[in-house]
Structure 1
Amino acid sequence: MAMWSDTAKNPQLFFLDARVAVVFMVFFLHMSLWTFVFSFVTSLVLSILPFFGVDLKNLWRQVVIWIAGKRLQAETPEWVILRRMRTQFIVPRK
């Protein structure tokens, strides 16, 4: 089997998602009760999510859609506005 066959899988430390290690690093850098509770709740949530078929990446996308809405209004780029301003004030040559 090729060595890159498992590269698309999520990294795990035992039964936890490996991204939880970042949250535990915050706890180890600032040991207090609230950081321990935060890291414990985060690890609990991230270990329950795969049972529902949701990945952390997909959860983040859903949160962004929930906050921003399904349709994002595109803004006119600045270079288009500047080009329009330049072309409006061109004086014809003689």
Structure 2
Amino acid sequence: MAHWRDTMRPMRFFGIDARATIPLLLFIMHAETWTFMLAVGTATLFTFLERKGLTVPAAIRAGRAWIAGEVRPAVPWWERRHHVDYRK
């Protein structure tokens, strides 16, 4: 029986991240060249991310943070107070 501390480990299917099996299942159900390339591409991408030290959710978060940029104001732009010139 597995120990409880093994519950956080990523799921594997023959050494590949289990999320890569979704396109593999698509290839099995619909055997075409493009589905094979999709399955191989996702497995390669997930392997590359693991070698870089990222899991898939961590890579998605890093990409989202890269797109959003460094400055993230706490107040949305439509609720910000604008400067008023009272000298007019």
- Asked if Structure 1 and Structure 2 have the same fold, meaning a TM-score greater than 0.5 normalized by the shorter chain, the answer is yes
- How far the C-alpha of 1:7 sits from its partner, in A, is 0.4
Deviations 1:20-72 (A, max 9, x none): 11121122232211111011011012122222211111111112123333444
Give matches, 1:1-94, under 5 Å.
Answer: 3-72=3-72, 74-75=75-76
Distance, in Å, in 1 between the alignment partners of 2:53 and 2:8 is 16
* TM-score, normalisation: structure 1: 0.65
Q: Which has the larger radius of gyration?
A: 1
- Flag the 1:71–1:15 CA change in 2: closer, same or farther, 3 A: same
Give the Cα–Cα distance (whole angstroms) in 1 for the partners of residues 29 and 71 of structure 2. Answer: 40
* Aligned partners of 1:15 and 1:47 also within 8 Å: no
Alignment TM-score, normalising by the size of structure 2: 0.69
Identify which range, 31-40 or 61-70, moves more after superposition: 61-70
Structure 2: gaps spanning 5 or more residues: 78-88
SS of the aligned residue for 1:40 comes to helix
Between the aligned residues of both structures, percent identity stands at 29
> Where does structure 1 lack aligned partners over 5 or more consecutive residues?
77-94
